[in-house]
Amino acid sequence: MASYRIRQYREQDYDAVRALFAAGILEHVPAAYRHFLRSARARLWLLLLLVAVRTVAGCWVLGLGAVALALVVTWFLVRSLATTYVSEALSTDLCDVSGSYLRAPDGCFWVAEAEGTVVGMVAVARPQDPADRGAALELKRMSVRKEFRGRGVSKALCGEVLRFAGARRYGAVVLSTSMVQVAAQRLYEGQGFRRVGATSHSLLGSLLCFQIFHYRCDLPGRAAAPPR
């Protein structure tokens, strides 16, 4: 397989970057759905639904039909979490990558390129969380094309972000990922990040037991205080 190189984003990468980001998020829908179905809450709801419909309609078949319908509806709800997240990103920062990252203070966007195509991407920006502003930068939009995974592409992209933040005298890099993005969690833990919290993005997310994990990597030799 061809080797890759890391370089800064160019306007010609626009479509590839947006498609790669969307694919990297949407591939986790089945895992998020399985995670919810395995939860005690989902099993309890489905059991209650079965018993309620059986009691009201007096028929087990209708009860089972209601459970099947609930499973289908739940799939679309889980999928909507991912599609909403993707749509928001594509209509905000990823709508104008250069403006959001390359021309923004303390921002940058890199792609991994192989055989003239984009096979990986990552961004860095000032953090969304006001508590981190000035003291840390945020790693965002990490994604690697499936055919190029397991070859160190994301480690190289992560390294760019950590070097970039260190060169600007930031004390840390923060990021968020979801509970079902297990490869990403291992990647970040291997690069020195530690989990510092978990939240739910929305009411729907919390009903579906879907958590966002927050990570932080303190940069050696850097004060956690804001750079001047």
Q: What is the DSSP string of 205-224?
A: HHHTT--EEEEEEEPTT--S
Residue 7 found at the interface with ligand COA (CB under 6 A): no
In the complex with ligand COA, which residue's Cβ is closer, 98 or 185?
185
Residue 197 found at the interface with ligand COA (CB under 6 A): no
Question: What are the residues facing 140 on neighbouring strands?
Answer: 123
In the complex with ligand COA, which residue's Cβ is closer, 1 or 72?
1
Residue where the block lists tokens 């990252």: 101
Residue list 80-139, contact with ligand COA (CB under 6 A): none
Do the Cβ atoms of 109 and 44 come closer than 8 Å? no
Stretch that binds ligand COA, among 6-14, 90-98, 145-153, 201-209 (CB under 6 A): 145-153
Residue 55 CB neighbour total at 10 angstroms: 9
Distance in Å, CB of 119 to ligand COA, minimum: 9
Distance in Å, CB of 219 to ligand COA, minimum: 19
In the complex with ligand COA, which residue's Cβ is closer, 150 or 227?
150
Question: What are the residues facing 111 on neighbouring strands?
Answer: 7, 121
Number of residues that bind ligand COA (CB under 6 A): 19
Do the Cβ atoms of 214 and 193 come closer than 8 Å? no
Provide the residue type at 70 as one letter. A
Residue 135 CB neighbour total at 10 angstroms: 17
| 49, 82, 139, 210 from 100: Cα distances, Å | 46, 22, 13, 28
Residue 187 found at the interface with ligand COA (CB under 6 A): yes
In the complex with ligand COA, which residue's Cβ is closer, 23 or 61?
23
Between strands 172-178 and 136-144, the pairing is parallel
Structure tokens at 10: 């160019």
* Binding-site member from 152, 197, 226, 227 for ligand COA (CB under 6 A): 152
* Binding-site member from 30, 99, 150, 197 for ligand COA (CB under 6 A): 150
* Binding-site member from 94, 108, 142, 174 for ligand COA (CB under 6 A): 142
Give the separation between CA 171 and CA 85, rounded to whole angstroms: 28
- Compute the C-alpha angle 135/139/141, nearest 5°: 150
Residue 219 found at the interface with ligand COA (CB under 6 A): no
Distance in Å, CB of 187 to ligand COA, minimum: 3
In the complex with ligand COA, which residue's Cβ is closer, 74 or 177?
177
Sites of contact with ligand COA (CB under 6 A)? 24, 142-144, 149-155, 177, 181-184, 186-187, 190
